[in-house]
Amino acid sequence: MSSVELVDVHEPEGVQPHRIWVQGLVAAGMWIAAAALIVWWPDVSRRWPMTQGLANLCLAVAALIVCAVIGSRWSAGLGRRARSLGPWLIVLPLVLSLWEVFTAKLAWLPVPFFAPPQALLDVYFDDWPRLADSLFHSAILLGSGVAVGAITGFVAGVAIGWSRSIGYWLHPVLRILGPVPSTALLPLCFFLFPSSWSASVFLIALATWFPVTVLTWSGVSSVDKAYYDVARTLGAKQRFLIFNVAIPAALPHVFVGLFMGLGASFSTLVVAEMMGVKSGIGWYLQWAQGWAAYANMYAALLIMALACSGLISGLFLIRDRLLAWQQGAMKW
């Protein structure tokens, strides 16, 4: 007799709800091993603050992974997301352990130029008011500059791409002023503008304006002329052609320009904040370097990296919502 295999027709294809996530168990064990190494291996020079706190954090991550292992047996969506993170959850405690060994345990990387991970954790607990204030002021400065640069760049790009007469006058200015790094104009801007804050806003806006203008112009210019012809035969006026044909067709290029401008604005932000503002991530980095507080500097760099990544991820979420038909064509 041939054997008959019973198949659950209600089970989603490719999902095995009773399968144990082995990678998750390995990852949880790695995080527990990292916590044991941090606590039981004595520091070579001095007892670093927040050593126990770092070990507790590792144990908390291990507990969350164990919960994900249990939940993945009953939730197909959770199982897929957890399995995609599995390799990283194994590698991260290994990197953390090596960082801890090379700094706190063996001191192969000299202090104060290299700080152990618990030193960064101590900065977040002890100096969070100053870090939060710096992040807030940087967000206000960055948001103001990016908003001005994005709006003016979008308007300039549409104008250049749509009107030949406007492009005749603006295109040479774009070719001369655009490639110049905005930070190169730093001394001139601090002389011309009444305050360092307004000068910083202008520099960030300039760094955003160039890529947004170029990509918007390219998007408007590359719209198929047949779209305009069809709209004109239906009685569309010039205003309708600009706002309902040219701009929607150019939006994919606009978001690429915003992506490039946001990256350039972050580098300009740090340089601008080092030149006269009283609070901000750039100011905090300069302050930390001046006092040789390298743990504070690394903590601020990590916050800045996470903030930049978060803003770009938010930009891509907006892009995917507005351009659902092009979702997945460009990923972050």
Report pLDDT digits (tens) over 166-192.
Answer: 888 888 888 887 778 888 887 788 788
User: For 182-208, b where at least 16 C-beta lie within 10 A, e where not — what string?
Assistant: bbebbeebbeeeeebbebbbbbbbbbb
DSSP character string of 125-173: HHSHHHHHHHHHHHHHHHHHHHHHHHHHHHHHHHHHHH-HHHHHHHHHH
The answer to whether the beta carbons of residues 207 and 182 sit under 8 Å apart is: yes
318-325 average pLDDT score: 80
- For the cut 50, the answer to whether the pLDDT of residue 1 exceeds it is no
- For the cut 80, the answer to whether the pLDDT of residue 164 exceeds it is yes
Interatomic CA distance for residues 104 and 45, integer angstroms: 8
Interatomic CA distance for residues 240 and 306, integer angstroms: 41
**CB count in 10 Å sphere of residue 296:** 25
Q: What is the pTM of this model?
A: 0.81
Q: Where are the domains of the chain?
A: 22-111, 128-326
Where residue 216 falls among pLDDT bands split at 50, 70, 90?
very high
pLDDT of residue 146: 94
CA-CA-CA-CA torsion sign (299, 302, 306, 307): positive
pLDDT of residue 4: 39
Where residue 330 falls among pLDDT bands split at 50, 70, 90?
low
- For the cut 60, the answer to whether the pLDDT of residue 3 exceeds it is no
DSSP state of 242: I
Interatomic CA distance for residues 239 and 159, integer angstroms: 12
| Residues in Cβ contact with 215 at an 8 Å cutoff, skipping those fewer than 6 apart | 157, 253, 254, 256, 257, 260
- For the cut 80, the answer to whether the pLDDT of residue 43 exceeds it is yes
Alpha helices of the chain — where are they, by DSSP H?
A: 22-40, 51-72, 76-100, 117-126, 128-162, 164-177, 186-192, 196-221, 225-233, 238-241, 247-273, 281-290, 294-322
Q: What is the C-alpha R_g of the chain? A: 27
pLDDT tens digits, residue range 95-144? 999 999 999 999 899 888 899 999 999 999 999 999 999 999 999 999 99
201-217 average pLDDT score: 92
Q: Which one of 36-45, 77-86, 313-322 scores highest in mean pLDDT? A: 36-45
Q: Under CATH, which number does the domain 128-326 receive?
A: 1.10.3720.10
Residue that has been written with the tokens 């700080």 in this structure: 115
Residue that has been written with the tokens 């390995």 in this structure: 26
Interatomic CA distance for residues 38 and 54, integer angstroms: 8
- For the cut 70, the answer to whether the pLDDT of residue 6 exceeds it is no
pLDDT of residue 332: 53
pLDDT tens digits, residue range 266-303? 888 888 887 767 788 888 988 898 888 899 999 999 99
Interatomic CA distance for residues 231 and 326, integer angstroms: 23
Identify which has the larger pLDDT, 278 or 233: 233
pLDDT of residue 328: 55
30-54 average pLDDT score: 92
Interatomic CA distance for residues 260 and 208, integer angstroms: 8
* Cα 26 versus chain centre, distance: 29
Farthest CA pair distance, the chain:
93
> What percent of the chain has pLDDT above 90?
41
The answer to whether the beta carbons of residues 304 and 266 sit under 8 Å apart is: yes
Task: Name the average pLDDT for the chain.
Answer: 85
pLDDT of residue 325: 64
56-82 average pLDDT score: 88
- For the cut 50, the answer to whether the pLDDT of residue 9 exceeds it is no
